[in-house]
Amino acid sequence: MESFEADDGHVFVRLDRGDRALESIREVCADREIDTGVVVSGIGTFSSLNIHYVNRTDLPDEQADRNVDLELEGAWEVTNVDGIVADGEPHLHVTAFDGERTVGGHLEEGCEINVLGEFTIRRVEGLPLERRPNDRNVSQLTRRDE
């Protein structure tokens, strides 16, 4: 993995075979001190794809009862990764294709780079954000008190 920062605050991240996507993005955010930001672009290939998605409209109180977890192996062409960094923590979504099906959802740990990964993070200054659970235990983006 390697990251490069432009004068305007954009951080470009190169992930290599065997790197883990979410874990690496977290590391770059910590190393580059990105508290609030936007992942504006993400492409590459994964050899393992771990995601979850919400498959219900009634939103049970327990998050485990709301989500479907997928742990998929094989060659996955990643067509998009984007999301928000709040309080240094990335919340990312992914769309990927394996030649037969397209899947999408919330990017989880353990997504291993197959050939390459390229991501762009836009740092945002002056807006401290975090996620807090609401009354339905849904993690919501909110301004952080400083």
- Reported as a pLDDT band with limits 50, 70 and 90, residue 58 is confident
Average pLDDT score over the chain: 95
- Reported as a pLDDT band with limits 50, 70 and 90, residue 57 is confident
Instruction: Say yes or no to pLDDT of 60 above 80.
Output: no
- Phi and psi at residue 108, to the nearest 5°: -110, 170
What number of H helices and E strands is found in the chain?
Answer: 1, 9
Nearest-Å Rg of the Cα atoms of the chain is: 16
Structure token digits, residue 29: 């955010």
Could you give the domains of the chain? 2-143 (3.30.1330.80)
Which of helix, strand or coil describes residue 57?
A: coil
What's the confidence (pLDDT) of residue 137?
81
What b/e sequence results for 15-40 when a residue is b if at least 16 CB atoms lie within 10 Å of its CB, and e otherwise?
beeebbbbebbbebbeeeebbbbbbe
Give the containing element (helix H, strand E) for 24: helix 21-31
pLDDT in tens, 6-19: 999 999 999 999 99
- Reported as a pLDDT band with limits 50, 70 and 90, residue 70 is very high
Q: What residue has token string 């979410």?
A: 22
For range 23-38, the mean pLDDT: 98
What are the Cα distances from residue 35, in Å, to 76, 112, 118?
A: 30, 24, 20
Can you tell me the distance from the alpha carbon of 56 to that of 26, in angstroms, rounded to the nearest whole number? Answer: 29
